[in-house]
Amino acid sequence: MLNYILLAAEMGADGQPQGQQWTFWVMMILIFVVFYFFMIRPQTKKQKELQQQRENMKKGDKVVTAGGIYGEIKEVQENTFIITIAKDVTIKVSKDSVFADAADANQSANEKK
């Protein structure tokens, strides 16, 4: 009988336990924080690094396009690169679809050391 009285005292006007509402919101906030620090934040950091890398590309850098074409930057324009992929063969590609060639990036890292 005492258990029923204590349980009734813990109930709110709507018939639900009052402590349950705030624990729900605490858990939702905790889940959001975990998602932010383990998924959203690292992805935005990676995107910023990639954007910075693309802005620092210059004539003569070896690159790979998103389509897998290897080449060397011939000219840098505002939103595009002119890339030489073979003798007398150039293509114009968006900056968003170009990545630094891994071999070129490793060589640059070794030169800095």
61 in the same domain as 46: no
pLDDT at 104: 56
The arithmetic mean of pLDDT across residues 72-80, rounded, is 92
Query: Can you tell me the distance from the alpha carbon of 84 to that of 62, in angstroms, rounded to the nearest whole number?
Result: 10
The arithmetic mean of pLDDT across residues 2-25, rounded, is 61
Reported confidence tier of residue 94, pLDDT bands at 50, 70, 90: very high
61 in the same domain as 47: no
Query: Can you tell me the distance from the alpha carbon of 108 to that of 113, in angstroms, rounded to the nearest whole number?
Result: 9
Residue 73 has pLDDT above 70, yes or no: yes
Q: Give the type of residue at 88.
A: D
Residue 52 has pLDDT above 70, yes or no: yes
Domain that holds residue 32: 2-52
Residue 89 has pLDDT above 90, yes or no: yes
pLDDT at 2: 47
Return the SS3 of 94: strand
pTM: 0.58
What CATH code is carried by the domain that includes residue 70?
Answer: 2.30.30
Cβ atoms 70, 64 nearer than 8 A: yes
The arithmetic mean of pLDDT across residues 32-59, rounded, is 91
Strand order, beta sheet including 80-86: 89-94, 80-86, 70-76, 62-65, 98-100
pLDDT at 43: 92
Cβ atoms 99, 64 nearer than 8 A: yes
Strands 62-65 and 98-100 turn out to be: antiparallel
